[in-house]
Amino acid sequence: METRSVFFCSYSVGTEVYRQVPELCSPFGSRALVIGGRRAMAAGLPKLREALEDSGLKIVHAVEFGEDCTGARIDRWAEYARELDVDMIFGMGGGKALDTAKGAAFAAGLPVFTFPTIAATCAGTTALSVVYREDGSFDRFAFFPRPARHCFIDLDILARAPWKYLQAGMGDTIGKFFECHFAARGDKLAHSSALGREISNMCYTPLLEYGVQALSDCWAGRATHALEQAVLAVVVSTGLVSLLVLDQYNCAIAHSVDYGLILLPGFEKKFLHGSVVAYGVLVQLAVDQDWDRAREVKAFLRRLEIPTTLGEMEVALDRVYLKDVLHETVTGPDMEHIPYPVTEDMIYQAMEAVENL
C-alpha cells in the first residue's frame, strides 16, 4: 500500500504572537531572510524586530517580493537566500508574498515561517503556491511536501489592515465549504479527505455567526473574539481542508467562475479573488438548483457587502461578451472532478438565475 504523509502547519494567534518567534524558530538556526510586501513589512517588521531583540535570532535582510508570485521571482529569492547563507525564510504579507516566500524556501531547501498581515487567504498554512506568469495571468499551482513550520497570526496587525481583505477572505472561505462538499458528492472518501470535508464545515458556520461583527471590528481596528474566529476560519480551517483532502476536492465551480471572470479586461484590478469566489458560490448553487441555500448565501453576502450579481460588478450579462468567461469556467482544472458534467449553457443560465435571485 502506498505511504501517504500529511503535515500540518502549527500556528499562534493573538496580539503578542511575535514574542514566540525566538522560541519556535531558533531551533532551526539564527539567520533569517524576510520576504514580504512593502506595506506588510511596514506594518509587521518593526514589531518582529522588537520581538527578536537580544534573542540571538537575526534578520539578515528584508526584501520586497515583487508584484506577483512568479517562477522567476521564486528562483531569484531562493538564490539570494543561498548567497546570504540564511537558515530560514520568513514570509510576511498577503497571499502572493507568502506564496513567493514558501516557493523560495523550498527551492533553497530551507524551513519557512509565515506572518500573514491580512486575512484574505489561507496561504499562511497551506503547502502550495499559486504561481503567475510575468503578464500577471495564472500559470500553475506549485505543491510542496509540507506547509510552513509555523504561522504567526497577529490579530492587532490584522485588525488594522484594510477591511476589504477580511471581506474577501471570508468570501473565499465560504467557497471552500460549498466546493468541497460539491466536488466530493457521491465519492467514498478515505480518512484524510473525509476529515478535511468535515473540517470544511468550519469554513462556513463560524462565519455565519461571527463574520458580520468581525468585519465591523476590523473596520474599527479592534482585535476581538469575533475577529479571531473569522480569521481562524479563513487562515486555519481553510488551510487544514487544503492539506487534508485530495486536490480534486479543493475547488469546483465557484473558483472556476473566478478564473473565467478575471479574463475580462481590468476586472481583476477592481475585485479581490475571494469576493468573486463568493459570487461563484451563488453560480454553483444555481447550477445545482439548491435555491434555499442560494438565498441564504446571497442574504449573508449582502450583509458582508460582497457583490452578488454581475450587474454589481459592472459586468454585462451578455452571452457573446461572456464567451471566453464561460469557456474558461467549464474547461478549467477545478472542473475535472465534479459530480456531473457542466456546460457553458448551464453556467450562463445559472448566472441569469443569480442575477434575478
Query: 313-321 long-range CB contacts below 8 Å, 24 or more apart?
Result: 313/261, 313/267, 313/270, 313/271, 313/276, 313/279, 314/270, 315/261, 315/264, 315/267, 317/351, 317/352, 317/355, 319/348
In whole angstroms, how far apart are CA 43 and each of 36, 118, 209, 220? Answer: 11, 10, 29, 17
pLDDT reported for residue 139: 85
C-alpha cell of residue 141 = 499551482
Dist. CA 12–CA 31, nearest whole Å: 21
User: The whole model's pTM is what?
Assistant: 0.94
8 A C-beta contact, residue 152 and residue 12: yes
pLDDT of 342: 97
All three cell numbers of 77, joined, read: 529569492
**Largest Cα–Cα distance of the chain, in whole Å?**
63
What grid cell was written down for 231?
Answer: 480569521
- pLDDT at residue 196, rounded to an integer: 96
Cα–Cα distance list, 54 to 30, 80, 212 (Å): 12, 26, 41
DSSP letter for 233, please. I
Mean pLDDT of successive 10-residue segments in the chain (357 residues)? 85 97 98 97 97 96 94 97 98 97 98 97 94 83 94 98 97 97 96 96 98 97 98 97 94 96 92 96 98 98 97 96 96 94 98 96
Burial class (CB in 10 A: 0-12, 13-18, 19+), 143: exposed
Name every residue whose Cβ is closer than 8 Å to that of residue 71 and which is 6 or more positions away in sequence. Answer: 131, 139
Q: For position 268, what pLDDT does the model report?
A: 87
Q: How far is CA 44 from the centre of its chain?
A: 19
Q: What is the pLDDT of residue 136?
A: 76
Give the neighbor-by-neighbor strand order of the sheet with 10-14: 10-14, 150-154, 112-116, 88-93, 31-36, 58-64
